[in-house]
Amino acid sequence: MEHRGVTVWLTGLSGAGKSTITDALAQRLRDHQCKLEVLDGDIVRTNLTKGLGFSKEDRDTNIRRIGFVSHLLTRNGVIVLVSAISPYRAVREEVRAMIGDFMEVYVSAPLEVCESRDVKGLYKKARSGEIKQFTGIDDPYEAPLNPEVNCETHKESLTESVDKIMAKLEELGYLSVAGVTV
């Protein structure tokens, strides 16, 4: 399958399903021999943006750095899958403008569903005050106003979410079979 460079930015609350969808989508794209890179917010924080905290300024800096790396890869024909909470709409829009070939995927689920999926116990720690500035609890999450794709993980299967993203990539001309957009 032929493809053009694009950044697919998956945003949503912790526990909404961003990493799960990203992993399945990455496998699907690899099955089609696409050049791709995955930038997971948790992994990036331990390497590229080590030392940043969770203030609004540090979160914005984190997203800008992920956006810059995504821009470099995208312009070189790579499909970049970004899985990051990225809670603030303005910096997501800033990154969209910088990258150009950008597709926003809102991975949504109600807060109570996200909390029930929380294997790391982060929501519990945030509610007890152990963790401060936790998105969705004592720090805001600004949902996208017009994402290209909305995956409602509490209502649809993983396969349905991945299929929606793949269909939108094809519709927007990022994926094609033998040079003909499917």
CATH superfamily of 2-6+18-157: P-loop containing nucleotide triphosphate hydrolases (3.40.50.300)
Report the pLDDT value the prediction gives residue 1, as an integer from 0 to 100.
Answer: 74
SS3 string, 80-124, reads: EEEECCCCCHHHHHHHHHHHCCEEEEEEECCHHHHHHCCCCCHHH
Question: So where are the chain's domains?
Answer: 2-6+18-157
- Give, for all 182 residues of the chain, the pLDDT tens digit: 789 999 999 999 999 999 999 999 999 999 999 999 999 987 887 877 777 878 888 889 999 999 999 999 999 999 999 999 999 999 999 999 999 999 999 999 999 999 999 988 889 989 999 988 899 898 999 999 999 999 999 999 999 999 999 999 999 999 986 544 44
Between CA 18 and CA 153 the distance in angstroms is 9
For residue 173, give the 3-state DSSP assignment: coil
Element (H, E) at 123: helix 122-128
Provide the annotated active-site residues: 86
Query: Are 54 and 141 in contact, with CB atoms under 8 Å apart?
Result: no
Question: Tokens in use for 156?
Answer: 């649809």
Cβ distance 85 to 14 under 8 Å? yes
Overall pTM surpassing 0.95 (yes/no): no
